[in-house]
Structure 1
Amino acid sequence: MELNNFNKLSKLTKARYLSSIFSVLIMLSSIGIILVNGFNWGLDFTGGIVTEVKLDPKIKSAQISELLAETSEQEVSVISAGEPGRWILRYAKVDNAGAHDIKTVLAPLTDNVEVLNSSIVGPQIGQELAEQGGLALLAAMLCILAYLSFRFEWRLASGALLALFHDVIFVLAFFSLTQMEFNLTILAAVLAILGYSLNDSIVIADRVREVLIAKPKMAIDEICSSAVQATFSRTMVTSGTTLFTVAALWIMGGAPLQGFSIAMFLGIMIGTISSVSVGTCLPEYLKVSAEHYKVEPISDAP
């Protein structure tokens, strides 16, 4: 029985090493993609015009999008305002034209086009949002770093932190490669991914620490593999159920939630992999051992 368990741990160790090499390649490729392609910033960051219109309730979103794409020669976001016939149109400002031109553009669909309101988001506001979003991401990483440093020894903490960086870079690279619009909704998804990925990494790291203390003479590669083996079912259940939920949101949420759902789906999937690969292999490479968690007795001497 012990031999069988040893063989399982040996195979799991090889799988961890291969996945860690794969993760490093993904991380380096993702950084290269971001540097080469950049991002397709949405109107939240670049500025533009947001117009709310009221049309015939029978008109569908696809009809509006197709007509606007033909006439404006740019991507126009069409979002339901929550009431039949009311739509929010978001597009870049190309000239000094006013909101009344929307009536002319939408005239082929219906004669009854009512512009409820129209507002302009300037580039300065978009730049402030981009800076605030970057600061929010930096603040989240710093808070996570502080927590990990307090919760674990720095070798285990480094594995969890690198796994977080790996997950965020991968998701950002996907949007850079596909040139999907990067807006505040996507940024919110990236922040959510940080918390979810951290959860998996902490569970595995905590198990590694427990085994280090309980079996100090056990080889570190076997300790990391046994920790992954002990938490594998829990990780699959939590990640699987969350993926089903996000997939349902992706399929049924429509265009407004598509980017958020894709980012969450990719983040959860790659986060599960990185917690097993990067999260365990880096502490092992840094020679984490039971000595780092050895409790030193307090001297009674004055």
Structure 2
Amino acid sequence: MSMPGADHERFRAEHPLLARAIDAILASVRETAELLRQGDSSGQVGSVNSFGDKQLKIDVKADEIIFSNLRSCGAVVTASSEERPDELDLGGQGFSVAFDPLDGSSIVDANFAVGAIFGIWRGAGLLHKTGAEQAAAAYAVYGPRTSVVLARPGRDGKLKVEELMLTEQGWLVCREDVRLGEKKVFAPANLRAAADNKAYADFVSACISEKYTLRYTGGFVPDVHHILTKGGGLFLNPTSSGAPAKLRLLYECAPIAFIVEAAGGASSNGAESVLKMKFDHLDRRTAITLGSREEVARSKHCLRA
């Protein structure tokens, strides 16, 4: 199941290996969507990954689906996931892929929207690279409909952000140019940090007093997708001494920040763009704010207590 349309055919001709890697991701999303519809994979498997995270059946199965498609496409040299956080040789050529196979799996049983996150880098290996070096990035949203938001090279060499929707006939481009403006919408994650991070508590209070719209589900992907769908807003995940960072730079923050910045938004770890941070180890985590440029500038001071 490949990318549709004449523009994608041009892209495929100009970037054949990258297109094959993206096709493998789209195939994985389709298979995972069907797996989620079966509704029998949310229980724990009784194991943890090497990060110490408890694994659900759905995490493990989604991970297997993605690795299988990436391996068979022939365009991926190295891949690494949150469930298997090692740099694994897949025997292909062209690109390396890091992914979170099911972002928000802990809210699957509540029937909330969940997602998956993918970053694609040129060449072999992921360590010591940065998010800015990505060739493309994508995330999937599994909700009432299944969609993928993709940042990839466009006709003029600049990054293009588009949304694809899964239909019975295949993938349909439903938005050709996803862009971010300014809107008073916010998704404040890790709110427990506000207990000992006064700057964060004050920022949340200011948003309430200024009548911001609250949109927070507990899933990184659906919360960011809401911002991109509505054309503006802010997602932030500050930290404190009692509530450290949980989001991983390689598998989650860098690919999402790449998409958001390509759409005209911004990201920050409190000091600089998240895309400037190096992957000095696979489990590096970070506080993050991303979304509309003005909102990121306004909120970055409260990321760390």
TM superposition score normalised by structure 2: 0.23
Which structure is higher in strand share?
A: 2
Larger helix percent? 1
Bigger-Rg structure (1/2): 1
